[in-house]
Amino acid sequence: MSEAPSREQRDTAMSAAAISSERIESDDDNVWTRRLVIFLRVMAVISVFKGLYHWAQVTGFVGGEDEAFENQPMAWQTATVYFAVIELVAAVGLWLATPWGAVVWLTTVVSMAVIELMFPGIYGGSLAIVGLEAVMLAAYLALAFMAARERPP
């Protein structure tokens, strides 16, 4: 019952092995893609901490009675709940390195910068936060550009 594999089966198996070895060798060429994924995972961890911090503000785990969530203006409450939800959603997408995760994360970065610059009454208008968000955005764009360049069309 056991027959020796036909010549066609051997050729197919050998070509499949050659293709998979080419993939392994070509992974050395994907340095920027690996760096982009590492960056996305670091941003995912940061997003988890930011999201949990915002939830801690909502639930009252951080701050005193004067800084309680219900004592804050409606604009601050709205922004805090927005970031509490969207940061955690972005973290999941970033960790999985999905395109929607990067889009949601970019939305959080731009939203935070806009709130800090255009509505300083909500979070205080810190230029340091805007600068940090801009640096993270520039790093992402540079890594994404370099990763896209190393992939053939």
pLDDT, one tens digit per residue, over 9-42 is 655 555 544 444 444 445 567 899 999 999 999 9
Stretch 39-61: mean pLDDT, rounded?
95
State residue 10's pLDDT score: 57
pLDDT score of 82 more than 80: yes
State residue 24's pLDDT score: 45
Give me the amino acid identity at 131: G
- Average pLDDT value over all residues in the chain: 86
pLDDT band, residue 67 (cuts 50/70/90):
confident
